[in-house]
């Protein structure tokens, strides 16, 4: 099973990915975790990412794709994986699909969690991580950026007949049950 969990910040992608990891017996792939590990291990891509981030720039699409691809070819990902927070742009989605096609593979499911904006703001303000940008105004700005830059990824997968939208409201368990049902488990 190759699954993409998709949605705006605060939709619950990371929480669900961790639960699904255990339920499905496959690994979660979080680009943030990959960045941290590559930097910590000083891999060639990690050094490149650190240089980019240290200069204050955003990591370009191709570098993100290269980092994910470097991970997905490892044997522990052969049974499948859950992509959390990737792809974030249509260019990343296109590159991921090309990478998978070259291996004779494809994404099995694309699940978008739908949560009203006011609920997203409440979740992020109250999540207790103490991020400096977890104020209502800054969260709404991040959601606007998400709508402009990331939401088009949904249209990419919808056009391919792979995208499903699920209600992201309810208990963690209710949402997990919806996801498992949507993927036939």
Nearest Cα neighbor of 46 from 77, 68, 67, 28 is: 67
Cis peptide before 49 (omega within 30 of 0): no
Tokens in use for 78? 């052969």
pLDDT for res 185: 87
Q: Which active-site residues does the annotation give?
A: 13, 88, 127, 131, 142
Q: Where do the domains of the chain lie? A: 2-29+79-182
Q: What is the pLDDT of residues 37-54, one digit of tens each?
A: 888 999 888 898 888 878
Distance of alpha carbon 95 from alpha carbon 170, whole angstroms = 34
Question: Which residues does 89 contact at the CB level (< 8 Å), separation at least 6?
Answer: 61, 149, 150, 152, 153
pLDDT for res 128: 59
pTM for the predicted model, two decimal places: 0.88
Q: Are 148 and 89 in contact (CB under 8 A)?
A: no
In tens digits, the chain (185 residues) has pLDDT values of: 999 999 998 999 999 999 999 999 999 999 888 888 888 999 888 898 888 878 877 788 998 999 899 999 999 999 999 999 899 999 999 999 999 999 999 999 999 999 999 999 999 888 756 566 678 888 898 899 899 989 999 999 999 999 999 999 999 999 999 999 999 98
Could you tell me the CA-to-CA distances from 52 to 42, 46, 157 in Å, in that order?
14, 10, 29
Distance of alpha carbon 31 from alpha carbon 41, whole angstroms = 15
Domain 2-29+79-182: homologous superfamily in CATH: P-loop containing nucleotide triphosphate hydrolases (3.40.50.300)
């Amino acid at each position: 099973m190759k699954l993409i969990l998709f949605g705006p910040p605060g939709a619950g992608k990371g929480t669900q990915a961790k639960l699904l990891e255990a339920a499905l017996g496959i690994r979660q792939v979080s680009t943030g975790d990959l960045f941290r590990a590559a930097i910590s291990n000083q891999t060639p891509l990690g050094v490149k990412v650190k240089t980019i981030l240290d200069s204050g720039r955003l990591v370009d699409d191709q570098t993100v794709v290269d980092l994910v691809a470097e991970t997905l070819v490892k044997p522990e990902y052969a049974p499948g994986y859950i992509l959390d927070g990737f792809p974030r742009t249509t260019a990343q989605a296109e590159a991921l699909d090309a990478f998978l096609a070259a291996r004779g593979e494809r994404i099995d499911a694309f699940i978008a969690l739908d949560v009203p904006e006011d609920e997203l703001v409440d979740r992020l303000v109250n999540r207790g991580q103490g991020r400096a940008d977890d104020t209502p105004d800054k969260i709404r700005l991040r959601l606007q950026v998400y709508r402009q830059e990331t939401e088009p990824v949904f249209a990419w997968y919808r056009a391919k007949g792979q995208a499903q939208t699920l209600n992201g409201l309810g208990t963690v368990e209710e949402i997990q049950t919806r996801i498992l049902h949507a993927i036939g488990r």
